[in-house]
Amino acid sequence: MTPPILGIFASAVTGGVSTTSFESIATVSVGSGGAADITFSSIPSSYTHLQIRGIVFTTTTDYSPVVQVNGDTGSNYSSHILNGNGSAATGSRPNSPTEGVLFGKSYAASDTYPTGLVIDILDYKDTNKYKTMRTLGGNDRNGTGEVSLVSTLWMSTSAITSIKIYAGVNWKQYTTLALYGIKGA
Binding site for another protein (CB under 8 A): 1-27, 44, 53-55, 57, 82-89, 91, 111-118, 136-143, 145-149, 174, 176, 178, 180-181
Distance CA 79, CA 134 (A): 10
Closest to another protein by CB, 147 vs 163, is 147
List of residues 6+ apart from 170 with CB closer than 8 A = 34, 35, 36, 58, 59
Least Å from the CB of residue 54 to another protein: 7
Closest to another protein by CB, 107 vs 166, is 107
Q: Which amino acid is at 94?
A: P
Closest to another protein by CB, 54 vs 100, is 54
Distance CA 74, CA 100 (A): 11
Least Å from the CB of residue 73 to another protein: 28
Least Å from the CB of residue 7 to another protein: 5
Least Å from the CB of residue 109 to another protein: 14
Distances (CA, A) of 19 to 11, 27, 46, 47: 18, 21, 16, 15
